[in-house]
Structure 1
Amino acid sequence: MITSRAPGKLFIAGEYAVVEPGHLAVLTAVDRFAEATVSKSKDADTQLHSDLDGGVRLSCRRVDDRMIPATADGAVPASFAYAFAAVSVLDRLLVERGIPARAYRLDISSGLGDADGRKFGLGASAAVTVATVAALGRFYGLGLSAMDRYRLAMLATVSINPKASGGDIAASTWGGWISYRSPDRALVSEVLAHNGVDAALSAPWPGLAVHPLPAPTELTMQVGWTGEPASTPALVAGLGNSSRQLSDRTAFLSHSNACVERLTAALEAGNSNGISDEIRCARDLLIDLDTTAGLGIMTPLLEALCEAGEAVGAAAKPSGAGGGDCGIALLDRTRAAALHELTDRWVTAGIRPLPLRTHPSEGECR
Structure 2
Amino acid sequence: MTVSCRAPGKLFIAGEYAVVEPGHLAVLTAVDRYATATVTAAEPGDGITLHSDLNGGVTLSCGRHGDELSPTSDAVVPASLSYVFAAVSVVHRLLLERAVPVSGFRLSVTADLGDADGRKFGLGSSAAVTVATVAALGQHFDLGLDSMDRYRLALLATIAVNPRASGGDVAVSTWGGWLAYRSPDRAQVAASLARDGVDATLRSPWPGLSVRPLPTPTELTLQVGWTGNPASTPALVAGLDGDRTTFRAHSNECVERLVAAIEADDAHAVRIEIDSARALLVDLDTISGLGIMTPRLRALCDAGAAVGAAAKPSGAGGGDCGIALIERTRPAAIAELTGRWLTAGIRPLPLRTHLAEGDPR
Q: TM-score range by the shorter chain?
A: over 0.9
AA matched with 1:62: R
Q: 1:71 to 1:128 in 2, by over 3 A?
A: farther
Match of 1:76 in 2: 77
Q: 1:71 to 1:284 in 2, by over 3 A?
A: farther
In structure 2, what residue type is equivalent to 1:202?
R
How many residue pairs end up in the alignment?
Answer: 357
Matching residue of 1:158:
159
Letter in 2 for 1:78: A
| TM superposition shift of 1:69 | 0.9
2:318 to 320, 323, 335: 323
- Once the two structures are TM-superposed, the CA of residue 62 in structure 1 deviates from its matched residue by 1.0
Counterpart selection for 1:306 from 277, 301, 324: 301
- The equivalent residue for 2:107 is 106
Q: Which residue of 2 aligns with 1:348?
A: 343
Q: 1:60-139 to 2 correspondence within 5 Å? A: 60-72=62-74, 74-139=75-140
Q: How many Å apart are 1:363 and its aligned residue?
A: 5.5
CA distance in 2, matches of 1:239, 1:179: 23
The aligned runs of 1:10-29 (5 Å cut-off) are 10-29=11-30
The two structures have a TM-score, normalised by structure 2, of 0.98
Query: Does the 8 A contact of 2:47 with 2:103 survive in 1?
Result: no
8 Å CA contact retained: 1:51, 1:109: yes
Give the residue type in structure 2 aligned to 1:114: D
Partner of 1:328: helix, strand, or coil? Answer: strand
Contact 2:176 2:354 in 1 (8 A): yes
Partner of 1:44: 46
**What are the residue-to-residue correspondences of 1:248-263 with 2, within 5 Å?**
249-263=244-258
Q: Distance in 2 between matches of 1:335 and 1:102?
A: 56
Indicate which of 333, 340, 343 corresponds to 1:338.
333
Query: Unmatched 5+ residue regions in structure 1?
Result: none
CA contact (8 A) 1:174 1:363 kept: no
Q: How does 1:222-261 map to 2 (within 5 A)?
A: 222-241=223-242, 246=243, 249-261=244-256
> For the residues of structure 2 that align with 1:299 and 1:71, how far apart are their CA atoms?
44
Deviations 1:35-94 (A, max 9, x none): 00000111622111111011110100111011001243x421001000000000000001
Question: CA–CA distance in 1 between the matches of 2:152 and 2:264?
Answer: 30
Residues 88-125 of structure 1, C-alpha deviation per residue, up to 9 Å, x if partnerless? Answer: 00000011111111100001000100000000000000
Q: Structure 1 residue 215: deviation in Å?
A: 1.3
Distance 1:302 1:357 in 2: 21
* Cα-to-partner distance string for 1:211-250 (whole Å, 9 max, x where unaligned): 1111111111100000100000000000123xxxx1xx11
Point out 4+ residue stretches in structure 1 off by more than 4 angstroms.
none
Runs of 5+ unmatched residues, structure 2? none
| 8 Å CA contact retained: 1:8, 1:30 | yes
Partner residue in 2 for 1:54: 56
TM-score, length basis structure 1? 0.96
- Cα contact 1:22–1:208 (8 A) shared by 2: yes
Q: AA paired with 1:38?
A: V
Specify whether residues 328 and 161 from structure 1 end up closer, same or farther in structure 2 by C-alpha distance, changes over 3 A only: same
CA distance in 1, matches of 2:73, 2:8: 30
| Structure 2 counterparts to residues 1-12 of structure 1, below 5 A | 1-12=2-13
**Counterpart secondary structure, 1:159:** helix
In 1: Cα distance, 2:64 partner to 2:176 partner: 33
Query: CA deviation digits over 1:184-204, x for unaligned, max 9?
Result: 000000000000000110000
What SS class does the counterpart of residue 29 from structure 1 fall into? strand
* Residues 259-301 of structure 1 deviation map (CA, whole Å, 9 limit, x = unaligned): 0000000001111110000000000000111011111100000
1:362 CA drift (Å): 2.8
User: Which residue number in structure 2 is paired with residue 289 of structure 1?
Assistant: 284
Check the 8 A contact 1:46/1:104 in 2, yes or no: yes
